[in-house]
């Protein structure tokens, strides 16, 4: 028998840890004189038609295990904790009670280990936006969210800030030609990126039909608060990037994993809710055990969505810089709707969910935007344990989209843009600057979490127009 490894089994569709252990045990005991390829061919046949192998004493255990998985494990019911785990809140006076209540509910899950609530927090779905939750070997699809891997990317360019005034027309034309916003459509020129060749698209059957849409949407942005903007960044003295302290041209983008991430989120949230039964008011926080086949599948799919989100930013930045004859000297980027494996301060392994929160381990760089007329901050993390090595992912909404729409006119927003020396392409009053909290107050509330390295000022902003 050849050296059969779990990686070989994953390639032919055996993703469950228990099943793979069983297979390796059965094969090593009963198929010593078969070649590796003969064994893999046999295992493919068993997986495709397990009933045909139930009467064979050598293969029956594998077939029974597969059939059990295909029929689906029965759901398991859980009760909530009597007392919540520790949740540290930053900038609590800026946070609405409903967001705090959502975070408290998450802290009562039996798999929860620790939580944190960032200063930009507001009510969301599942976890509040700005909520951070550490769990024990469990991933909560709805705590990662619908826009998996939503992220920020900043390219600092070796040009002075005067480039924007000199080349405003060319920048606007490039933004119109090389960006696309909204739910449908894509760029005129087909985009290429290695993420489209990921084997995960084929390893998980659910993902296969999603690849076509991923190809079409590559290099595009969503709607809502997603943006692509040129501006000027003021780098502070002795900054972590080692750049001279002056103003530079910069490109800043905010977007996520598009339709791919949304489909993954819906599929695995339903799977979690079907198998992990919680009290009705907590059901959206159903989790997948990372030792389960579904948990491992989601983890792979989530990582793919994160890679795809990064690929979209890669293409946006590459296309725009090439069109304008520019070159980045530094790129800073990070996810904020994602789950990571990490360790608590006592060394215990945990899964950290950051729903609209920026990773901020010691020295880790991130970008925290304000609004279309207020600065974004380039920061480095301080590695605060109480905050689960996190910081806010922006200023955070002060108004719902409907309230922002009702309380701001187009003409009033235009005046705000003029006063801030900002040109807006697209955009709606739902994203007007007053819809967001005061970014400087939010930054003050998290001074124990990050150090400021630079300050970015938006100048030409492209958003979706609805």
Residues comprising the binding site for GMP? Answer: 225-229, 336-337, 369-372, 393-396
Token digits for 450?
Answer: 């990050």
Contact 240, 41 (CB under 8 A): no
Beta bridge mates, 152: 254, 334
DSSP string, 119-178: EEEE--SSSPEEEEEEESSEE-HHHH-SSTT-EEEEEEESS-TTHHHHTHHHHHHHHHHH
> What span, in angstroms and rounded, lies between the C-alpha atoms of 110 and 104?
13
Q: Is 178 annotated in the active site?
A: no
Closest listed residue to residue 134, CA positions, set 149, 152, 117, 150? 117
Binding residues for Mn(2+): 147, 226, 254, 336
**Nearest partner of 425 among 257, 293, 230, 199, judged by Cα:** 230
Structural contact between residues 395 and 462, judged by C-beta atoms closer than 8 angstroms: no
Tokens 């001279």 locate to 244
Distances (CA, A) of 227 to 352, 406, 421, 423, 460: 26, 22, 17, 13, 10
Q: Residue 37: which of 13, 66, 10, 8 has the closest Cα? A: 8
Give 74's contacts (C-beta < 8 A, 6+ positions apart): none
Please enumerate, by residue number, every residue annotated as part of a binding site: 147, 225-229, 254, 336-337, 369-372, 393-396
- d(CA 167, CA 13) in angstroms, rounded, equals 53
Query: Which is catalytic among the residues 122, 178, 267, 393?
Result: 393
Q: Which residues pair with 350 in a beta bridge?
A: 342
Annotated catalytic residues are 393
């Amino acid at each position: 028998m050849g050296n059969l490894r779990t990686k070989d089994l994953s390639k032919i569709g055996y993703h469950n840890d228990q099943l793979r252990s069983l297979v390796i045990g059965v094969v090593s005991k009963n198929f010593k004189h078969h070649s590796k390829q003969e064994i893999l061919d046999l295992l493919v046949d068993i997986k495709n038609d397990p009933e045909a192998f139930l009467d064979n004493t050598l293969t029956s255990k594998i077939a029974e295990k597969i059939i059990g998985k295909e029929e689906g494990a029965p759901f398991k019911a859980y009760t909530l904790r009597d007392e919540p785990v520790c949740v540290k809140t930053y900038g609590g006076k800026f946070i609405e009670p409903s967001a705090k209540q959502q975070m408290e509910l998450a802290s009562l899950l039996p798999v929860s280990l620790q939580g944190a609530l960032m200063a930009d927090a507001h009510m969301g779905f599942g976890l509040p936006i700005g909520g951070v939750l550490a769990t024990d070997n469990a991933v909560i699809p709805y705590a990662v969210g619908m826009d998996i891997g939503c992220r920020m990317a900043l390219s600092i360019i070796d040009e002075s800030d005067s480039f924007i005034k000199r080349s405003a027309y060319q920048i606007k034309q490039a933004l119109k030609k090389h960006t696309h916003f909204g739910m449908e459509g894509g760029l005129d020129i087909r985009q290429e990126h290695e993420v489209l060749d990921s084997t995960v698209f084929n390893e998980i059957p659910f993902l296969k039909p999603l690849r076509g849409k991923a190809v079409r949407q590559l290099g595009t942005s969503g709607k809502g608060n997603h943006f692509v903007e040129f501006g000027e960044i003021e780098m502070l003295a002795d900054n972590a990037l080692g750049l001279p302290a002056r103003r530079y041209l910069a490109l800043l983008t905010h977007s996520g994993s598009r339709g791919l991430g949304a489909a993954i989120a819906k599929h695995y949230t339903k799977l979690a809710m079907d198998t992990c039964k919680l009290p009705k008011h907590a059901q959206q926080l159903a989790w997948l055990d990372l030792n389960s086949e579904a948990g491992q599948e989601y983890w792979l799919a989530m990582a793919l969505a994160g890679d795809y989100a990064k690929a979209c930013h890669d293409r946006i930045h590459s296309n725009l810089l090439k069109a304008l004859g520019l070159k980045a000297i530094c790129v800073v980027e990070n996810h904020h709707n994602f789950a990571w494996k990490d360790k608590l301060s006592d060394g215990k392994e945990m899964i950290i969910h950051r729903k609209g929160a920026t990773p901020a381990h010691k020295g880790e760089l991130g970008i925290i935007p304000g609004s279309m007329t207020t600065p974004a901050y380039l920061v480095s993390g301080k590695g605060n344990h109480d905050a689960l090595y996190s910081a806010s992912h922006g200023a955070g909404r002060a108004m719902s989209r409907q309230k922002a729409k009702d309380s701001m006119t187009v003409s009033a927003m235009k005046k705000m843009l003029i006063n801030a020396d900002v040109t807006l392409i697209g955009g709606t009053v739902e994203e007007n600057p007053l819809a967001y909290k005061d970014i400087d107050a939010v930054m003050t509330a998290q001074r124990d979490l990050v150090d400021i390295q630079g300050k970015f000022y938006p100048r030409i902003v492209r958003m979706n127009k609805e």
